[in-house]
Amino acid sequence: MRQTLKGFGAVLGVGVLAACASALGPEPLTGDLLIRDVRTIGFEGEAPAIRENAYVLVKDGKILAVRETPEGLSAPETVDGAGRTMVPGLTDMHVHIWDEAELGAYLSWGVTRVRNMSGLSFHLPLAKRIEAGELMGPHLITTGPILNSPGPNAQINHQMVETADEARAAVAWQAEAGFDRIKVYSNLMRPAYKAIIEEAAARGMPVVGHTPEGVREEGMPKDKPFNISFEEVLADHFETIEHIESVVWHGLRNRHDEAAARALGHKIAAEGVPVTATLLAHRNLLLVAETGGAATSRPGTELLNLVEQQTEGGNFEFWAGQDPAPVADDAAFYARVAKIFQEEGVTLLAGTDAGIFTNIPGKSLGEELALLTGAGLSPYDVLRSATYTPSVVLGTVGQDGCVEAGCAADLVLLPCDPLADISCAAEPAGLVYRGQWLDRAALDGLRQASAQQDAERTMANVFGGMAEYGVDLSALTGE
């Protein structure tokens, strides 16, 4: 009996203490920055988690608390959100960065993380400088140099491999250089491709990229299948497969067949392999064709790297001379495939191919979100593809892509409700970046600074990196 009474008293005491604590109000917390009166949206569930009139306290680059009242919250810097909408920082899962000058442009459009898809040695210290706070730019994840074999899609900056031994050596070189993921391309021959998969798995390196086809023979893909089937590659479980356009080419043998697209989407979903849509990459080809090339100098293209743009002359000329009608038909089908894939349960990610052709750093992501919405995806699903879903794929759930205590304080303040109008996500009113508040004027400053480029530094970045993995630069340098 004595023990029972003692236990009852202990429980009663806890209840009294809890009541007293409640009467005293929430725990007082002090941070570095307090954002007042914002509407927050979380993307972790199948439906939006919305808080109206929330107060977000930030400390040491992380969210310390999110509350419905400012009571007990204090910080030396306060920002009035004025009831506007705050979402996690946006992620572009497919970009090409050539120099540090471009980084500010991404931030200016609310892009706080990027996955660079054609790595060179300069990207590794660049990423470290960003994380150390020495340089303002989106968190940078990068593949190593693109692994490919000779063929119609080979490019000068690719690391070329043909045999299994060459492929293993290339993966080993990339791992030892410090890269942590491998990007493959469409011309890869079967022995090289299989060796890459095996060596990357042994080293714990995810594989991403275009789906390798093997040697391109006459009559492919219309009259005969590719040497390496799409299903074979799908079974290798890439971190992501890139470009719906490329999936249609390889997985559907370039047929505009919606029933076949649905069956393929079902297979992709069953294997659990995400797809980075990049509808914008093709849409900008159409834009150049529609404008006879004028789109290559539209506002914003001054933010594209000047050295890279000098290599695009032939591409610009080719697409400027194309009949827009068939290009538009392709674009419409790729959009339809995006919707079909989403209906079949494929995990879609937002990516843009920014940094090449006329795909403007930062701005392109808002354009991609609009294209995905135009394809029939809901604004919520589209925003999820650029916030929470990248965190799932990259293994950082709970660390970023969220607006909760403990999440990274990378947050975008939008001028209106993006769930009602996705174009609202195209131009932020402000940004919390690594816990620091950047108003619209500061974002404009970053954007303007991105147009101030250093061609010599770019050439050192690119040519120096390519020389490290054996590219013969004599044709480019004239030496």
Domains: count for the chain: 1
Tens-digit pLDDT profile for residues 416-438: 999 999 999 999 999 999 999 99
Q: Does residue 163 register a pLDDT over 80?
A: yes
pLDDT average, residue stretch 120-137: 97
| In the predicted structure, residue 2 carries a pLDDT above the cut 90 | no
Domain annotation covers residue 297: yes
pLDDT in tens, 348-395: 999 999 999 999 999 999 999 999 999 999 999 999 999 999 999 999
Whether the Cβ atoms of residue 380 and residue 47 lie closer than 8 Å to each other: yes
How many other C-beta atoms are found inside a 10 Å radius of the C-beta of residue 318? Answer: 13
The two beta strands, 436-439 and 430-433, are antiparallel
210 belongs to a structural domain: yes
What string of DSSP letters covers 434-465? TTEEEEHHHHHHHHHHHT---HHHHHHHHHHH
Mean pLDDT to the nearest integer, 165-170: 98
Residue 356's domain comprises 89-402
Is 447 a domain residue?
no
What's the confidence (pLDDT) of residue 474?
67
Residue 439 lies in a domain: no
For the stretch 57-66, pLDDT in tens is: 999 999 999 9
Dihedrals phi, psi of 460, to nearest 5 degrees: -65, -40
308 found inside a domain:
yes
**Quick check: is 245 in a domain?**
yes
CATH number at 192 reads: 3.20.20.140
Question: 24 pLDDT band (50/70/90 cuts)?
Answer: low
> In this structure, is residue 295 part of a structural domain?
yes
Does a structural domain hold residue 443? no
The residue behind tokens 């293994």 is 395
Sequence-separated (6 or more) residues with CB below 8 Å from residue 62? 406, 407, 408, 409, 435
